[in-house]
Amino acid sequence: MIYVVGLLALVFLVLTVLVLTRLTSVLKGINGDSTDENEGIGLSNRINGALFLVFFVVGVIAAAWSFNEASHYFLPEASSPHGRRTDSLFWLVMAVITIAFLVTNALLFYFAFRYSYRKDHRATYYPENHKLELIWTVIPAVVMALLVFTGWRAWRDIMSEAPSDAVVIEIVGKQFNWITRYPGVDNNKLGNYNYKLTDANNEVGLDLSDEASFDDFTATEMHIPVGKPILLKIRARDVLHSVFIPHMRVKMDAVPGMPTRFWFVPDKTTEQMRNETGNQKFNYEIACTEVCGRGHFSMRMPLVVEDEESFKKWTSEQKPWLTTHTDYLVQVPEKLKAKAAKYVPADASAAPSDSTATEQGGGAGTSASLR
């Protein structure tokens, strides 16, 4: 602490001497002795101009070094075609901005050196220069228009309708985890949901009045096949969340009451990424990039990208949600109970035996009537 105080005292002493020296020079100028003052100004301006150039060169070198050091922490090449297109657009914009920055600042710092104060030198004043004004207006406008048009085309393609053969997966965000719902292997069609049916067990509000939902199953991790279009149907149960798959360059907000969607094609399996990165512990993950509460940091889900055969094997091993929640059979309309019975274990009672199931049945009747 003593050394710090001593260092600060020394700095303030030097600053005081400099201020007094400058004050003395000003007073000499006021008294009429301006020759030495002008010579001092010319010398100091030449020194400052040279320091401007040194600062610019050192700054460029430091920025290049910083970029090179930080590049080790960049994400690897995107694992989806749209991700690589997005990255190429990002680096194109960065290149244009960097070139414009270097050119304008190089001129700025050079002019500070080239046109510093010199005795008997008079500045030339240009009231207007239409040619110069046209150049610095048209060129940026053309470059900006090209960038905007290129970005619009990429956005249009990325946000287009998913292909008809896309694998449809619903992902629901809630504080503080993700839930995925898959269409069952029997009809490969995602059933309806009704937010009014959401409870502690039926976390996604599965609507059992729709027979397509009988074979739907939920999972706490996401599996997707490589090389196939994947359509994510995204929604939130409570507050604003955001689906983020960094290695796929996928990001879309999950908004309560407003379902969103995003489709992409993963073209690198988890195993391929492990080999490319040299990290055998590598795993894709789905994170939340919208601060959604105190547990936001823990809101992540494993993502497994595998070949189609492995994906089909995994889906076939999953049990329909109705199979493990037989009490909810009461929510199935009478005319569909025979179809629903296919997914209910033989030893399970068809009728609920507790008051909770009875209440659920009443809620289902209300929902069914609304539908």
Q: Could you please report the per-residue DSSP string of 93-117?
A: HHHHHHHHHHHHHHHHHHHHHHT--
Beta strands 300-306 and 222-225: pairing type?
A: parallel
Residue 2 has what pLDDT? 67
Residue 367 has what pLDDT? 38
Residue 13 has what pLDDT? 74
Q: What is the spatial distance between Cα 305 and Cα 95, in angstroms, rounded to a whole number?
A: 33
Residue 124 lies in a domain: no
Residues 106 and 149 in one domain: yes
28 pLDDT higher than 70: no
pLDDT tens, 208-238? 999 899 999 999 899 999 999 999 999 999 9
What region, left, alpha or beta, does residue 162 occupy, with left being phi > 0 and alpha being psi -120 to 50 degrees?
beta
Residue 354 has what pLDDT? 42
Residue 125 lies in a domain: no
42 pLDDT higher than 60: yes
Residue 24 has what pLDDT? 66
Residue 27 has what pLDDT? 58
Average pLDDT, integer, range 357-365: 42
Residues 151 and 202 in one domain: no
pLDDT band at 185 (very low <50, low <70, confident <90, very high): confident
Average pLDDT, integer, range 38-51: 74
Q: What is the spatial distance between Cα 273 and Cα 282, in angstroms, rounded to a whole number?
A: 7
Residue 96 has what pLDDT? 94
Residues 68 and 173 in one domain: no
Residues 366 and 255 in one domain: yes
Residue 341 lies in a domain: yes
Instruction: Report which residue type is found at 201.
Output: N
Residues 74 and 184 in one domain: no
Residues 187 and 154 in one domain: no
Q: What is the pTM of this model?
A: 0.75
Give strand pairing partners of 56: none
Q: What residues contact residue 254 under an 8 Å CB cut-off, 6+ apart?
A: 171, 172, 173, 234, 235, 236, 240, 241, 242, 243, 260, 290
pLDDT band at 30 (very low <50, low <70, confident <90, very high): low
**What distances in angstroms separate CA 106 from CA 59, 61, 101, one per listed residue?**
11, 13, 8
Structure tokens belonging to residue 334: 């009478």
Give the other-Cβ count within 10 Å of 344's Cβ. Answer: 20
Residues 279 and 138 in one domain: no
pLDDT tens, 77-136? 999 999 999 999 999 999 999 999 999 999 999 988 888 777 777 777 777 888 888 888
Residues 42 and 8 in one domain: no
Residues 173 and 307 in one domain: yes
**What distances in angstroms separate CA 216 from CA 155, 191, 197, 230, 247, one per listed residue?**
32, 7, 16, 17, 28
pLDDT band at 187 (very low <50, low <70, confident <90, very high): confident
Residue 123 lies in a domain: no
The DSSP secondary-structure symbol of 202 reads -
pLDDT band at 46 (very low <50, low <70, confident <90, very high): confident
Residue 285 maps to which CATH number? 2.60.40.420
Q: What is the spatial distance between Cα 110 and Cα 113, in angstroms, rounded to a whole number?
A: 5
Domain that includes residue 225, residue range: 167-370
Q: What is the spatial distance between Cα 91 and Cα 80, in angstroms, rounded to a whole number?
A: 17
Average pLDDT, integer, range 71-77: 91
Query: Which phi and psi angles does 189 have, rounded to 5°?
Result: -130, 130
Average pLDDT, integer, range 174-194: 90
Give strand pairing partners of 182: 217
Instruction: Report which residue type is found at 216.
Output: D
Residue 272 has what pLDDT? 94
Residues 136 and 181 in one domain: no
Residue 303 lies in a domain: yes
Residues 290 and 180 in one domain: yes
Residue 110 lies in a domain: yes
Q: What is the spatial distance between Cα 140 and Cα 346, in angstroms, rounded to a whole number?
A: 72
49 pLDDT higher than 70: yes
Residue 9 lies in a domain: yes
pLDDT tens, 335-345? 988 888 888 88
Residues 258 and 180 in one domain: yes
pLDDT tens, 285-336? 999 999 999 999 999 999 999 999 999 999 999 999 999 998 898 888 989 8
* Domain count across the chain: 3
Residue 195 lies in a domain: yes
Q: What residues contact residue 234 under an 8 Å CB cut-off, 6+ apart?
A: 170, 171, 172, 173, 243, 252, 253, 254, 259, 260, 261, 262
Q: What is the spatial distance between Cα 19 and Cα 9, in angstroms, rounded to a whole number?
A: 15
